[in-house]
Amino acid sequence: MGNLIPKPTEAELEILQVLWENGPSTVRFVNDRLSEKREVGYTTTLKLMQIMVDKGLAKRDTASRTHIYQAAINESDTQERLLKSFVQRTFRGSAMKLVVQALGSHDTSKAELDEIKALIQKIEDEQE
Amino acid sequence: MGNLIPKPTEAELEILQVLWENGPSTVRFVNDRLSEKREVGYTTTLKLMQIMVDKGLAKRDTASRTHIYQAAINESDTQERLLKSFVQRTFRGSAMKLVVQALGSHDTSKAELDEIKALIQKIEDEQE
DNA sequence: TTGATTTTACGAATTCTTTCGTATATACTT
DNA sequence: AAGTATATACGAAAGAATTCGTAAAATCAA
């Protein structure tokens, strides 16, 4: 199904992260989370969240005076979509190169490496 | 060394890809490459490349009338830098989740999986 | 040399994103 | 009810990124 919902901008993605992590939230709550990281005005966050509803990135419940917002798009679908275009743009389509960079430059723990090995095993089994 | 050179924008990155892939090139050449993918005017590409020189993303040789442009920043350093902020923004810092997504959704060949396994082996050895 | 072509230079228009000021409504406290 | 605090609505300013029109300079062909 063709996706009509646009790619979130950076600021929108920051808000989506909060919504994904905490579930339905008020503007106040989201703004407080964002404010932990950087200076941002309440009305700025409000406006962005209203725009996100317009774009279909978020939904809101306006039953009570304090509106409750929630993400309208799924976290891992969105990640997959963004990853795909990122790989295209930055690694000319080579997911392989990206994985090598990711494993190489971020230090990855023993447990994580084990997890990846298990994942590879699973993929290999499926490829039989 | 603190990097004063700004993050390339999407359109700039597209041009960098051409320069990285083909080495020093003219505006005409870059524009032809870009035009294979999407409609883009010659002067638009020219302007972008001039801006890139201003920003320090590209260098140019103006000896002859037809200027020759080349990337001023290294491909894998840039990829690493962009990847880092992408992981932060999109996967809340979890390189692990990104790798899982990358391995899962893009289909990865046997050879590539082997390569990743070798890489993991190498990392594990270093961690000793 | 004249006219056609290609190139760079410059500036401005356009579009998209982000931020904020102000007005208005609703709720809470005493 | 009056005063304070908190919320949404609206519009516009400010900033970035992208695109394009036009002009001037250099080159080439006849």
Average pLDDT over residues A34-58: 94
Average pLDDT over residues A57-66: 92
pLDDT at A62 over 50: yes
Q: What is the pLDDT of residue B3?
A: 55
Average pLDDT over residues A116-122: 87
pLDDT at A127 over 80: no
Check residues B103 and A91 and name the one with the higher pLDDT: A91
Find chain A residues with C-beta within 8 A of B112's C-beta.
Answer: 96
Residue A86 burial class via C-beta count within 10 angstroms: exposed 0-12, middle 13-18, buried 19 and up: buried
The residue behind tokens 């917002």 is: A69
Query: What is the percent of chain A where pLDDT is above 70?
Result: 96
Q: What is the pLDDT of residue B79?
A: 95
How far is A7 from A9, CA to CA, in rounded Å? Answer: 6
How far is B87 from B10, CA to CA, in rounded Å? Answer: 17
Q: What is the pLDDT of residue A58?
A: 96
φ/ψ (deg, to 5) at A8: -65, 145
Question: In angstroms, how far is CA A79 from the centroid of its own chain?
Answer: 5
> What is the SS3 string spanning B60-109?
EECCCCCCEEEECCCHHHHHHHHHHHHHHHHHCCCHHHHHHHHHHHCCCC
Q: Which residue of B has its CA nearest to A15?
A: B89
Check residues A112 and A79 and name the one with the higher pLDDT: A79
Q: What is the pLDDT of residue A1?
A: 44
- Closest in B21, B116, B127 to A110, CB measured: B127
**Would the Cβ of B5 be found within 7 angstroms of any atom in strand D?**
no
**Beta strands at B58-61 and B68-71: parallel, antiparallel or unpaired:** antiparallel
- Closest in B14, B89, B103 to A99, CB measured: B103
- The answer to whether B35 contacts chain A (CB < 8 Å) is no
Average pLDDT over residues A22-49: 95
- The separation, in Å, between residue B33 CA and nucleotide C20 C1' comes to 42
Q: Which nucleotides of D are covered by protein (CB under 7 A)?
A: 6-12, 16-22, 26-27
Name the helix (H) or strand (E) containing A60. strand A58-61
Q: What is the pLDDT of residue B106?
A: 64
Q: Which residues of chain B have pLDDT under 50?
A: 1-2
- Closest in A83, A89, A110 to B10, CB measured: A89
The answer to whether B78 and A88 are in contact (CB under 8 A) is no
pLDDT digits (tens, 9 = 90+) for B79-107: 999 999 999 999 998 888 898 888 887 67
Q: Band of the pLDDT at A3, cuts 50, 70, 90?
A: low
The answer to whether A8 and A14 are in contact (CB under 8 A) is no
Q: What is the pLDDT of residue A122?
A: 86
